[in-house]
Structure 1
Amino acid sequence: MESAARSRHVLFLNWRDTRNPDGGGSEVFVERIAAELVRRGHRVTLFCAAHPGAPADETLPSGVRVLRRGGWRTVYLWAAWVCLTGGLRPDLIVDVCNGVPFLSPLYAGCPTVVVVHHVHREQWPVVLPGWRGRLGWWLESRVAPRVYRRCRYVTVSEPTREELIRLGVDPARITIVRNGLTPVRDEAVARTPYPSLVVLGRLVPHKRVEYALRALTALPDARLVVAGRGWWEPELRRLAAELGVAERTEFAGYVSEHRKHRLLASAWVALVPSVKEGWGLTILEAGARGTPTIAFREAGGVRDAIVDGQTGLLADDPDEFVALIRWLLSDEKTRQQLGEAAHAYARGFTWAASGRRFAQVVDEVAARPRQRVP
């Protein structure tokens, strides 16, 4: 264990945890960073929404305590209640904003660090059409920057940093702490004998798995594995049948870490068709298996996770997305070169380094006098 400059109680506020059926890369980042803080001598609590099958209070093997209260709508009120009633007495709060902010400076009696993986401008109308999406964007773009105007921000990529600056956040208050990568076992896994694609992630509209299904219609010899779960799966299955690609599409559902890495290692190309990603952890995971990824340039953090033309490819529109897939599946030499470069690039990211950088932010912020938001 590395000793912290001073041991503190750090409270993470996040709407979900990795055991939540809807958990994703944001939750992985939070829990791995929390574990690194514990390793450095801090006491860490993660407060998140409750979900079926998960205890209300548990301590993870990493030493992180997880408290679950409320649902995905009410967890924000529960967080305020617990802080205001003294149920938790943190020295510092890490307020993770996944679109809807916790607004902890309004009620917390300690400093706040804000974590923003990406700005949700494009996602609000997809996830919540109409007035609810406009309200969400107003909270994220107008209310949150004002409430957090004296807080330190942490984000995971340069594109998100640029978006925060456009929302009015002072660049001097933004620190980039990129995702790490858990070392993978070098298990020999053969590539499929046929052209194969894989999409890994939650099955929700803004992940745009539809783009991968539509691409398959132009690739008659290719097959696609969609690994993940989510409420949008029935619609994706319906579309696969409508497009005539259901027999070449496997909906694998939730996969274990071992199965995930075997899928990434056996695929020829990984696809990330999302409308927005803060980073794109699966891109590095694919890279660790020597598999290049194709994503959309407009999707934010993927521009940091992929070195375009070296470790993977970025498309500017759906037609180019299909064209790049077709090219990479047909060009074995280029595919291998990109895969080897992606493997080397992925090795440069570790959770230890990310945790060390985040711990520096914690120490710097916690050492400053508390300034309340008027």
Structure 2
Amino acid sequence: MRLLIVTPALGTTLGGGERYALDVVLELAQAGHELTVVTSTARQEADFWQGSEPAPTAEAQAWPFRSYHLPIPPFPGGQAALFRRRKLLALTDWLPAGLNPFAPYNALFPHLPDLPALLADLKPDFDLVHGFNLSWESPLLAAAAYARRHQLPLVITPFAHPGSRSARWNLQRREQRELLASAARLLALSSSEKAGLTSWGIAPERIDLIGMGYTPYPAAAAAPDPALPARYALFVGRASRDKGSFEAINAISTLAPSTELHLVLAGHVDADVAAHIAGLSPAQRARIHTLGRVSEARKHQLLAGAFVFLLPSRSDAFG
């Protein structure tokens, strides 16, 4: 098949969604499908408001498919100003279609000013259009317009997290609801995501539950890390409020010392999470271990040695 794939970001240095999308795209290329991928040059989430590099990474340049990498300009006022515009969109969502003066803000998440012209120049010789990520929706909106213009089926992997407290303003605005309604198929990663999409009015027969996939463990079992405690709960990914890191930290830090269970955080730690850890008592802090970003080999070593995996996320499709 000839596929046009549009996604806000792609690569191994971003979040799990971007790594998942890259794995899917690489599998499709290996299976012999002809791919055209349009994405940004973002290397971390902060690039969505700080601005991204003009050129893709060396990793991206080596991908075995045709790809276009668009820069994101810095947003005046940074993250706070960008997210204020998203809230304005949500607060004015009740206005009739076409009458919302803030509707142009939809193109800011993320802002890819070169995207419309790029898609306008792409020959419509595709069998379908596939878009990722409903919460950073400007590429999806552009992909949907391209599919509509050329009468191509649109498939969306939304990475929806219906349990999130921010779902109303981050995932359920008019334009996002219309995106979901316009798709020929929606691909859900978990039964909870499918149930959530159904609760938003999407017919269940239009949603395919495809699962999350997995990366096989290395053939050789990793030896435990002698620098870590013998019993630890493992949290993998960005330690942020929405991913349940506060709950994980509080659960471990309030356990009786006799349990000897520690918490290991593998991934970037947000500033408010770091401040929360710093505010614990010395005895509680001693049971929390922050490792920062780790390699794939290190991740497998940590998983092999963990007593339990702990990720009480409220903001992921798998949650």
TM > 0.5 between the two? yes
Inter-CA distance 79–87: structure 2 relative to 1 (3 Å threshold):
farther
- Does 2:214 correspond to 1:181? yes
Inter-CA distance 239–57: structure 2 relative to 1 (3 Å threshold):
closer
* TM-score w.r.t. length of structure 2: 0.71
Q: Aligned equivalents of 1:65 and 1:250: distance in 2?
A: 41
Inter-CA distance 68–260: structure 2 relative to 1 (3 Å threshold):
same
Q: Please, which of 151, 175, 179 is the counterpart of residue 144 of structure 1?
A: 179
Amino acid at match of 1:16: A
Aligned to 1:250: 289
3-state DSSP of counterpart to 1:272 = coil
Aligned to 2:193: 160
Amino acid at match of 1:189: A
What is the number of equivalent residue pairs in this alignment? Answer: 260
- Does 2:304 correspond to 1:265? yes
Bigger drift between 234-243 and 71-80 goes to 71-80
Does the 8 Å contact 1:13/1:79 carry over to 2?
Answer: no
**Could you report, residue by residue, the CA deviation over 1:178-214 in whole angstroms, capped at 9, with x for unpaired residues?**
1222222232424865321211011332112111111
Q: Aligned equivalents of 1:177 and 1:144: distance in 2?
A: 20
Q: How does 1:99-248 map to 2 (within 5 A)?
A: 99-101=135-137, 102-103=140-141, 104-108=143-147, 109=150, 110-120=152-162, 122-124=164-166, 134=169, 137-139=172-174, 142-148=177-183, 151-185=184-218, 186-190=220-224, 194-219=230-255, 220=257, 221-229=260-268, 232=270, 234-244=271-281, 245-248=284-287
Report how far residue 227 of structure 1 moved: 0.8
Bigger drift between 259-268 and 171-180 goes to 171-180
Q: Aligned equivalents of 2:71 and 2:222: distance in 1?
A: 44
Report how far residue 49 of structure 1 moved: 2.1
Report how far residue 144 of structure 1 moved: 2.5
- Does 2:40 correspond to 1:32? no
- Does 2:37 correspond to 1:46? yes
Report how far residue 255 of structure 1 moved: 0.3
Aligned to 2:79: none
CA RMSD of aligned residues (A): 2.8
* TM-score w.r.t. length of structure 1: 0.61
Q: Please, which of 17, 37, 42 is the counterpart of residue 10 of structure 2?
A: 17
Unaligned runs of 5+ in 1: 1-6, 126-132, 280-298, 300-374
Q: Aligned equivalents of 1:258 and 1:140: distance in 2?
A: 41
3-state DSSP of counterpart to 2:309 = strand
Q: Aligned equivalents of 2:69 and 2:188: distance in 1?
A: 24
Report how far residue 254 of structure 1 moved: 0.8
**Could you report, residue by residue, the CA deviation over 1:67-88 in whole angstroms, capped at 9, with x for unpaired residues?**
3213373455543332123378
Aligned to 1:55: 55
3-state DSSP of counterpart to 1:197 = strand
Amino acid at match of 1:260: K
